[in-house]
Amino acid sequence: MKKILLINGPNLNLLGDRENNIYGKVSLKEIEKVSIDKAKDLKLQLIFEQSNSESVIIDLIHKTQKDFDGLIINPAAFTHTSVAILDALRAITKPKIEIHLSNIYSREEYRKTSITAEAVDGTICGFGQLSYLLAIDAINNILRN
């Protein structure tokens, strides 16, 4: 069974309580449940993580190379600021997909640039919780081909 790591960045632990007009009313726990169920349907093992710490996220990315077959990451605010996360993503050779709940290209000017997108195979954004499920389908297709 292929193992996928799904990393959620800062403040995503507040989903459901935070800026519902942008991020929706679904909690991260609810997204985790439907994501794990979707992965199981595809015969994938999904490990779901969240951290508000850049260093923890970098350590998790490093772990992907040895312990996982692919990575899905929602870097959240680090998307626009973290060269360190970009470098960590570049250092691993496993398939990588970046996701966002909101459409970052229709938001504030500073959110329209994803530094981390330079190091991933593709980006899915703007579909709310569905962004996670689309990414699971996408990484499954990458791994099967």
* pLDDT at site 83: 97
Residue 112 has pLDDT above 80, yes or no: no
Residue 22 has pLDDT above 70, yes or no: no
Show the domain range for 34: 2-144
* pLDDT at site 107: 79
Q: How many other CB atoms are there within 10 angstroms of residue 137's CB atom?
A: 14
With a pLDDT cut of 90, the percent of the chain lying above it is: 82
* pLDDT at site 20: 60
* pLDDT at site 19: 63
- Comparing CA positions, the residue from 65, 61, 38 lying closest to residue 49 is 61
Residue 115 has pLDDT above 70, yes or no: yes
Per-residue pLDDT reduced to its tens digit, 54-110: 999 999 999 999 999 999 999 999 999 999 999 999 999 999 999 999 888 877 877
**Calpha distance 44→37 (Å, rounded):** 10
What residues are labeled active site? Answer: 23, 100
- Comparing CA positions, the residue from 95, 105, 145 lying closest to residue 125 is 105
Residue 51 has pLDDT above 80, yes or no: yes
Of the pLDDT bands very low, low, confident and very high (cuts 50, 70, 90), residue 5 is: very high
CATH of the domain at 99: 3.40.50.9100
**Calpha distance 116→14 (Å, rounded):** 22
Tokens of 104: 């970052």
**Calpha distance 106→136 (Å, rounded):** 24
**Calpha distance 119→91 (Å, rounded):** 9
Overall domain count for the chain? 1
Of the pLDDT bands very low, low, confident and very high (cuts 50, 70, 90), residue 24 is: low
Residue 126 has pLDDT above 70, yes or no: yes
